[in-house]
């Protein structure tokens, strides 16, 4: 490891720094900028702990991840020297780790090539067991630069496989903010931004090297041509014709530059891989519409992904189930159902499930396109999404057709049979058209189910206690069984304020007075509010947090087994009131000091962030208090 560098190796520096900057790193020298994260050459020797191990050696770059976690980078001038670059980067790390008890170098990256021939890079991760392992993604060696948060996630998990470490809601929100700001600067309407991201992902899947050249029109045409292939394969060209990227405003070059910036960020975070594993497009869509409160204006409330997961787990969806969502949105429930099958089935079974067992209807073209693309990333389920209002249709099996058919009308015909075994939905609340009230979607969903099929729906709490719905609730029990009711956290759809419940119903058997119902009050779903969004609490994985609730529901719904009761939180008892709220049927919960502290802290935080004004009846001289948002940790 020579102390001197060849001139040709310096030529890689701009490319390397650009890759780090594209991934969100601050390329300033930490010696002169406290926020800086990247030292070049001998700059790192000013850090005494690093110098202990480096001596006179000068890595191309040393990256500061935290005050005691670092990353070395070494470059070579030809691609055939990549193994040498990796070995030297690891050598710098080993030397530093051996000499210091304060700092650790856990990442080592080798870069090789030139701007003419192209560059290659490999990043290695040092496990706590002392073994260097290549950073991988989706089974292949990762050839990009991790973001700071990705590096921290790898460190926290002590796992070099990025695929095994799910992206958090907080990370999605941060990426969404960057993309939203970039597209806003190009005057792209907020309603189209999530679609543009989806179209870019389709283009990126077809051509990972797509990039902006000298002609912005050619760049936009290239994106359109590649993304169109997915719609063409599904015979959805009329839908594509309404969605393709068109120049916005008078400056297509500005738009092309914005799209190029977003494309680079998508590549840097490997968003394409994430989109294959979670309802990322739905998260982006919701994030973008919240910018300017558009989601409220449009009446759109998307179902949080952890609630979709909880419902799919509780219903015990298996590869033989046929799943239908009549208000599909961005396909969050269908994604959760598919992910459950993929986790326990072979690839062939998963593909067959996506192709023949997932169905949905969405009335909005643009939201339906996001659902289409969401399902495209998961297999051929893209064929089974219909754009229309679901209420006038029936979803039936017809001889001679592998897939179910959407047919107009309610009445089942002689050549038709029911096949849907699971319905999951979150119908739109309080639509102005009475014929499209929430309960009409519940009725529609039940009509599609086979006997003993299960339905899960999110509903406003008022449907379960308001006297205006009393007759509807009574009639529902004449032909169906109320299996369970979950009172959801008050802020589950934050910032939209609505008190909601999750309802589980079995079709085809009258609810008897003695039938037990599983009542659950879910006061803590593992999320907290932060700057307009709900994100996982630090160090908490929602699946492990919600699994006991999901398992209790699954045991009851599938096997009739009653889990040990938790007073005030999870109890079994018959309907004792015409009102179906869990609060009416549950006893008093024991005081949980941990939850109590969380509630008090959250209440205190809410008080601090509110604008507190003295009442007008106060004596003259009362002072208005305007408190800025404060973090209470």
Tell me the pLDDT tens digit for each residue of 389-402: 999 999 999 999 98
Instruction: Return d(Cα 423, Cα 334) in angstroms, integer.
Output: 10
Percent of residues, the chain, with pLDDT higher than 90: 49
The reply to whether omega before 495 is within 30° of 0 (cis) is yes
Tell me, letter by letter, the H, E, C secondary structure of 47-106.
Answer: CHHHHHHHCCCCCCEEEECCCCEEEEEEEECCHHHHHHHHHHHHHHHHHHHHHCCCCEEE
Q: Taking 90 as the threshold, does the pLDDT of residue 535 lie above it?
A: no
d(CA 12, CA 27): 15
> What pLDDT, on a 0 to 100 scale, did the predictor assign at position 178?
87
For 540, phi and psi rounded to 5 degrees?
-115, 130
Residue written as tokens 């990043």?
Answer: 123
Spatial separation of the C-alpha atoms in residues 172 and 164, rounded to whole Å: 16
Average pLDDT rounded to a whole number, residues 584-595:
73
- pLDDT of 435 reads 57
Burial annotation 559-591 (CB, 10 A radius, 16+ → b, else e): eeeebebbebbbbeeebeeebbbbeebbeeeee
Burial of 629 (0-12, 13-18, 19+ CB in 10 A): exposed
Q: Does the structure show a pLDDT above 60 at 555?
A: yes
Asked whether the beta carbons of 323 and 311 are under 8 A apart, the reply is no
Token pair of 219 as six digits: 């760049």
pTM confidence score: 0.71
- Tell me the DSSP string of 165-197: SPPPHHHHHHHHHHHHHHHHHTT--HHHHHHHH
Is 62:99 a contact under the CB 8 Å cutoff?
A: no
Output the six-digit token pair for 227: 């993304």
* Strand 323-325, strand 358-362: pairing: parallel
310-354 per-position pLDDT tens digit: 999 999 999 999 999 999 988 889 989 998 998 888 888 988 898
Domain boundaries along the sequence of the chain? 7-164, 169-290, 301-512, 597-626
**CATH homologous superfamily of domain 301-512?**
Vaccinia Virus protein VP39 (3.40.50.150)
Tell me what the mean pLDDT of segment 225-247 comes to: 82
pLDDT band at 590 (very low <50, low <70, confident <90, very high): low
Q: pLDDT band at residue 504, thresholds of 50, 70 and 90?
A: very high
Could you write out the DSSP letters of every residue in 113-167?
EETTTEEEEEEEEE-TTS-EEE-EETTEE--S---HHHHHHHHHHT-SBGGGSPP
Q: Which of helix, strand or coil describes residue 608?
A: helix
Judge contact between 617 and 601, C-beta under 8 A. no
To the nearest whole number, what is the mean pLDDT of the chain? 84
* pLDDT 10s digits, 147-198: 888 898 888 778 898 876 666 666 777 788 888 889 888 888 877 888 888 8
Measure the CA–CA gap between 41 and 146, rounded to whole angstroms.
21
Task: Give every strand in the sheet of 118-126, ordered side by side.
Answer: 38-40, 61-64, 69-76, 104-114, 118-126, 132-134
């Amino acid at each position: 490891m020579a102390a001197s560098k060849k001139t040709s190796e310096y030529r890689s520096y701009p490319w390397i720094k650009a890759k780090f900057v594209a991934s969100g790193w601050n390329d300033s020298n930490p010696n002169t900028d406290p926020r800086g994260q990247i030292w070049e050459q001998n700059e790192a020797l000013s850090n005494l702990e690093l110098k202990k191990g480096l001596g006179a050696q000068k890595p191309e770059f040393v990256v500061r991840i935290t005050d005691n976690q670092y990353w070395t980078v070494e470059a070579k001038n030809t691609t055939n020297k990549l193994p040498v670059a990796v070995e030297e980067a690891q050598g710098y790390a080993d030397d530093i780790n051996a000499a210091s008890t304060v700092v650790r170098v856990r990442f080592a990256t080798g870069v090789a090539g030139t701007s003419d021939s192209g560059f290659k890079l490999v990043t290695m991760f040092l496990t706590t067991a002392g073994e260097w392992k290549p950073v991988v993604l989706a089974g292949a060696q990762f050839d990009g630069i991790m973001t700071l948060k990705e590096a921290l996630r790898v460190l926290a998990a002590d796992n070099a496989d990025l695929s095994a470490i799910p992206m958090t809601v907080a990370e999605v929100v941060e990426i969404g903010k960057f993309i939203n700001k970039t597209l806003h600067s190009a005057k792209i309407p907020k309603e189209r931004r999530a679609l543009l991201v989806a179209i870019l992902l389709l283009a990126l899947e077809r051509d990972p090297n797509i990039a902006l050249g000298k002609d912005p029109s050619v760049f936009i045409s290239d994106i359109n041509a590649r993304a169109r292939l997915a719609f063409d394969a599904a015979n959805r060209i009329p839908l594509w014709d309404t969605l393709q990227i068109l120049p916005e405003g008078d400056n297509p070059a500005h738009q092309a530059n914005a799209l190029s910036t977003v494309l680079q960020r998508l590549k840097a975070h490997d968003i394409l891989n994430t989109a294959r594993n979670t309802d990322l497009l739905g998260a982006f869509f919701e994030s973008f519409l919240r910018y300017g409160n558009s989601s409220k204006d449009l009446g759109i409330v998307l179902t949080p992904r952890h609630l979709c997961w909880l419902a799919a787990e509780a219903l015990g969806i298996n590869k033989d189930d046929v799943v239908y969502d009549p208000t599909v949105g961005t396909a969050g429930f269908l994604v959760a159902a598919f992910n459950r099958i993929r986790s326990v089935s072979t690839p062939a079974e998963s593909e067959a499930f996506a192709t023949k067992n997932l169905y949905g209807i969405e009335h909005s073209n643009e939201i339906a396109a996001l659902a289409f693309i969401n399902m495209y990333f998961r297999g051929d389920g893209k064929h089974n999404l219909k754009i229309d209002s679901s209420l006038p249709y029936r979803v039936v099996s017809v001889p001679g057709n592998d897939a179910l058919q959407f047919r107009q009308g309610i009445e089942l015909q002689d050549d038709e049979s029911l096949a849907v075994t699971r319905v999951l939905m979150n119908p739109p609340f309080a639509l102005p058209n009475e014929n499209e009230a929430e309960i009409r979607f519940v009725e529609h969903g039940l009509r599609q189910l086979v006997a003993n099929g299960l339905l899960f729906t999110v509903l406003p709490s008022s449907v379960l206690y308001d006297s205006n719905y009393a007759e509807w609730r009574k009639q529902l029990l004449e032909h169906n069984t109320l299996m369970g009711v979950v009172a959801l956290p008050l802020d589950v759809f934050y910032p939209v304020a609505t008190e909601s419940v999750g309802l589980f119903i079995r079709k085809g058997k009258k609810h008897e007075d003695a039938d037990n119902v599983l009542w659950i009050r879910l006061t803590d779903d593992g999320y907290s509010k932060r700057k307009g969004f709900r994100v996982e609490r630090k160090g908490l994985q929602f699946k492990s947090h919600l699994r006991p609730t999901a398992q209790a529901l699954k045991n009851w719904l599938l096997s009739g087994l009653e889990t040990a009761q938790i007073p005030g939180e999870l109890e079994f008892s018959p309907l004792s009131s015409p009102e179906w709220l869990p609060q009416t049927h549950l006893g008093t919960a024991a005081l949980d000091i941990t939850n109590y502290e969380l509630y008090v802290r959250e209440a205190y935080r809410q008080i601090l962030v509110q604008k507190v004004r003295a009442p007008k009846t106060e004596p003259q001289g009362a002072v208005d208090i305007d408190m800025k948002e404060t973090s209470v940790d």
